[in-house]
Structure formats: structure tokens, C-alpha cells
Amino acid sequence: MANPHRLTTDQVIDLIKEETGTELSASTFRGYVSRGQAPAPVEKIGRTPLWKRSEIVAWANNRPGQGARTDIPKSRRRRAE
């Protein structure tokens, strides 16, 4: 029986869309993972990486939007606005 708290890449993509409304391709997500910009998989079954649902939800809800300045600390960003 599959663990409902562990997600495949396709399930991660669906969850991100459900949580944020943002459509992300599987290759984009894998690129984020390989660059350390998204959570690493917590386990693998065969060649299939699996992610922890709670980590993906937290990451999806806290990632910067398109065009967001990531070079300014959040504390300074708020004062500038």
C-alpha cells in the first residue's frame, strides 16, 4: 500500500497547482530539485523519487513568485515597499 504522505513527481506537480494555482512542469520541478531550490526527495522506490507532502506544501506556499527579488533579505524587502 502506498504512503499517502509520500508523493511522486506527478503528484507533487498536482499538489503545487492545487495549493498555489501555479502550473509547473515536471522538468522545471526536477531542475529546482537538482539546484537545491526545492526540497530533496526523502526516499526512492526503485528509480522513483518520493517527497514528503508537508515539505512540498510548505515550500510551495513560501516560494517567491515570478520576478520576485531574491537578493534582498525579507526584512529589508518589506521596508522598501
Query: Can you give the pTM of this predicted structure?
Result: 0.74
pLDDT per residue as tens digits for the range 2-61: 687 899 999 999 999 999 998 999 999 999 999 999 999 999 999 999 999 999 999 999
- The pLDDT, as a whole number, for residue 72 is 74
d(CA 20, CA 40): 20
- The pLDDT, as a whole number, for residue 74 is 67
- The pLDDT, as a whole number, for residue 57 is 95
- The pLDDT, as a whole number, for residue 71 is 75
Q: How far is CA 16 from the centre of its chain?
A: 7
d(CA 70, CA 62): 12
- The pLDDT, as a whole number, for residue 66 is 65
